[in-house]
Chains A and B, each alone.
Chain A
Amino acid sequence: MTTLATAPQAPATTANVHDRPAGPADGSTPARPPVRDGLRAIVPICLGVAPMAVALGALVGGSDLDPVAALSSSVLVMAGSAQLTLLDMSIRDLDALVIVATALLINARFLAYSAAMASWFPTSSRWQRALLALPLVDQMFLVTANDRARVRRTEAERRRFYAAAAAALVTVWVVAQVAGYLFGALLPEAFALQAATPLCLSGLLAVSLKDRRAWGAAAAGGAATALLALALGPAAILLGIAVAVVLVPAGSAS
């Protein structure tokens, strides 16, 4: 994806998106420099995810996990909730299949992003689409959807926007995790960084509660896990999720 990011930038323009009428997307007059726009769109999001990345790195630093493997998951998995889940469950030494299944279930939402992206990049080559899929995470979906709604670009420009944003996000995500790993131990015990995992989970849960069905799924998942945990132990998490997703009325896709 970095190879995409090195594509030549369009000339800078100071025009505001709202000033410029949506012209034909033929690429003859680049609306706005896509690489610069991609970076500009992702920077505030990078600042937002950096603290969670630091907390993840500190979590690895304070555990017995192989740091190279654990920190590699930042770029290999490239999804905060799943990575936090994977690391937390690994620290608790749960069954490998339970960990993999839970993490993949959490990432099932990317299916919806993949569908949307397919309609946004209809003429991109197979290779380009394969690259676009690599960093496809909530934040990338968000900035791409926002940009698409506001600025008219050619598909090639849109790919450059996406690649620039992705390169910045991945860089910040990995560097902040390594920094958390290296320096997390220097923080005093009273800093209570071990609380970062449940705190991040609380925040991720709050953000995922977008509508009543999501609240229902969360309530069912939590309750089912609590009940099943008495009989089943760790596998209760997986069954709790399954119970919630099957029982809560799906309604129409939002």
Chain B
Amino acid sequence: MKLWAVILAVAVGTYLIRASLLLLRSRRTPPAAVVARAALVAPAALAALLVSAGAHAPGLPVVLGCAAGFAVTLRTRNVVHALLVGLPAVWVAQALGLG
């Protein structure tokens, strides 16, 4: 029940963000400062979430996998590489007995 409420709230809120300026019909763009700040939220939020996930003791293999996936994705700009590189890195670290 709580999950449905959360999902519907996020769905409606996200749609309102997406539709907002499309439906206002004016070609006015929002203040540049607002757009610039909005662009900063994603990196801030993702870093905050990673830190928060790290607090749950994921183990050294996962931390190493994340570091490897992050480093490669930073170069390639393709999210999938975080999984394609990170997961094997986790497996190798586990096989080496680091976990």
Q: Using known A-B contacts A73-B11, A203-B69, determine if residue A196 contacts B87 with beta carbons closer than 8 Å.
A: yes
Least distance between B10 CB and chain A CB atoms (Å): 4
Q: Does B96 contact A (CB under 8 A)?
A: no
Binds B, one of A14-22, A34-42, A210-218: A210-218
A245 to B43, CA, bound (A): 10
Q: Does A167 contact B (CB under 8 A)?
A: no
A49 to B79, CA, bound (A): 8
Judge whether A199 and B53 touch: CB under 8 Å.
no
Indicate which residue in B25, B36, B80, B90 contacts A250 across the interface (CB closer than 8 Å).
B36
A229 to B56, CA, bound (A): 12
Least distance between A134 CB and chain B CB atoms (Å): 7
Judge whether B39 and A109 touch: CB under 8 Å.
yes
Judge whether B42 and A253 touch: CB under 8 Å.
no
Which A residues lie within 8 Å of B15 (CB)? 133-134
Q: Does A224 contact B (CB under 8 A)?
A: yes
Judge whether A122 and B27 touch: CB under 8 Å.
yes
Indicate which residue in B2, B26, B82 contacts A202 across the interface (CB closer than 8 Å).
B82
| B residues 41-55 touching A (CB-CB < 8 Å) | 41-55
Judge whether B11 and A76 touch: CB under 8 Å.
yes
Judge whether B22 and A132 touch: CB under 8 Å.
yes
Q: List 29 A-B contacts (CB under 8 A).
A: A55-B83, A69-B7, A73-B7, A88-B53, A99-B6, A105-B45, A108-B17, A111-B30, A114-B18, A119-B27, A192-B94, A195-B58, A199-B83, A199-B87, A202-B66, A203-B69, A203-B81, A204-B46, A205-B47, A205-B50, A209-B74, A221-B47, A222-B50, A237-B45, A237-B52, A241-B48, A248-B44, A250-B40, A253-B32
Chain B interface size, as a band, is 35 or more
Judge whether B13 and A104 touch: CB under 8 Å.
yes
Which A residues lie within 8 Å of B27 (CB)? 118-119, 122
Which A residues lie within 8 Å of B86 (CB)? 195, 199, 202-203
A contacts with B, residue count (CB < 8 A)? 98
| Contacts from B to A (Cβ < 8 Å) | 2-11, 13-15, 17-27, 29-30, 32-56, 58, 61-62, 65-67, 69-71, 73-74, 77-84, 86-87, 90-91, 94
**Chain A interface helix/strand/loop/mixed:** helix
Besides the known contacts A106-B41, A195-B62, A206-B77, 10 further A-B residue pairs in the complex with CB atoms under 8 A apart: A85-B49, A96-B2, A190-B94, A192-B87, A195-B86, A198-B54, A202-B66, A209-B43, A221-B47, A250-B40
Judge whether A48 and B30 touch: CB under 8 Å.
no
Indicate which residue in B10, B19, B22 contacts A100 across the interface (CB closer than 8 Å).
B10
Which B residues lie within 8 Å of A73 (CB)? 7, 10-11
Q: Quick one: closest B residue to A211, CB to CB?
A: B39
Judge whether A110 and B17 touch: CB under 8 Å.
yes
